[in-house]
Amino acid sequence: MSSVLLISSAVAGAAAASSARQCVVVRRPRPSRSLRTVPVPDVQSPARPRARAHDGGPGAAELLDFARRTAADRALVASLPLDPEGRTWIRLDGPGGSEAWLIGWPPGTGTGWHDHGGSRGAFAAAAGELTEQSLAAAIPTEGWKTLELADGVDRERRLSDGRGRAFGPHHVHQVLNLSPDTHAVSVHAYYPPLPLMRRYSRSGAVLRLEEIERPGEWT
């Protein structure tokens, strides 16, 4: 694992995850004016043995299997309202108490750099193509405000046609729809349900912690 260089001060935090099922349209910078709710069909996992993680929840492989199978559900994917100005999403019933989402990505949109507050997860492309840029480095969760990243930590992959990836609890990445004209849709699942997300900005090799979002602040 590549190293990172610490430069300044500390952060920490945790909170409970939300459980409401909803569809949301976000148009920055005033997302609070653009919420709407639609009914969502349940997504059931087939009954088959699964290796559980040490905490009793679904492991990354099970989350990835769920994301891939759900991405193949054409009726569910078609039920997601798409908006040309911002991402849209529907909350799903994930396996084993996990948090799951169906997300629409207009051309040119992305998440920005972030982590998942210690949750493991997986996502898969259901339509279009997404680009994931990630860091192959263990980023500390506290004790810093700015990091200088070591050489060689950047990774990039493109996901389309049901392809997906799983990740562990310390994963830092950003997800982008780089297409100039095509919407993308994807399925995401996390366990435990997201307690928080740390948002980062980046300039070259310098990564900076910008804010910590709690459940409800990203919906």
Q: Is residue 12 situated within a structural domain? A: no
pTM score of the predicted model: 0.78
Q: Could you tell me the CA-to-CA distances from 170 to 42, 86, 117, 132 in Å, in that order?
A: 29, 27, 8, 15
CATH label of the domain that carries residue 61: 2.60.120.10
Q: Is residue 96 situated within a structural domain? A: yes
State how far the Cα of 199 lies from the Cα of 206, in Å rounded to an integer: 14
Q: Is residue 10 situated within a structural domain? A: no
Q: Is residue 1 situated within a structural domain? A: no
DSSP per position, 155-182: EEEEEETT-EEEE-TT--EEEE---SS-
Q: Is residue 48 situated within a structural domain? A: no
Q: Is residue 166 situated within a structural domain? A: yes
Q: Quick one: pLDDT at residue 5?
A: 40
Q: Quick one: pLDDT at residue 216?
A: 82
Q: Is residue 30 situated within a structural domain? A: yes
Encode the chain (219 residues) as per-residue pLDDT tens digits: 333 443 333 333 333 333 333 433 333 333 332 333 333 444 444 444 455 677 789 999 999 999 999 999 999 999 999 999 999 999 999 999 999 999 999 999 999 999 999 999 999 999 999 999 999 998 998 999 999 999 999 999 999 999 999 999 999 999 999 999 999 999 999 999 999 999 999 999 999 999 999 998 865
Query: Cα angle at 206 between 124 and 144, to 5 degrees?
Result: 90
State how far the Cα of 56 lies from the Cα of 30, in Å rounded to an integer: 38
The whole domain housing 133 covers 20-41+56-213
Locate 61 and state its tokens.
């492989």
Q: Is residue 3 situated within a structural domain? A: no
Q: Are 92 and 77 in contact (CB under 8 A)?
A: no
Q: Which one, of 98, 97, 114, lies nearest residue 170 by Cα?
A: 114
Q: How many domains does the chain have?
A: 1
Q: Are 175 and 197 in contact (CB under 8 A)?
A: no
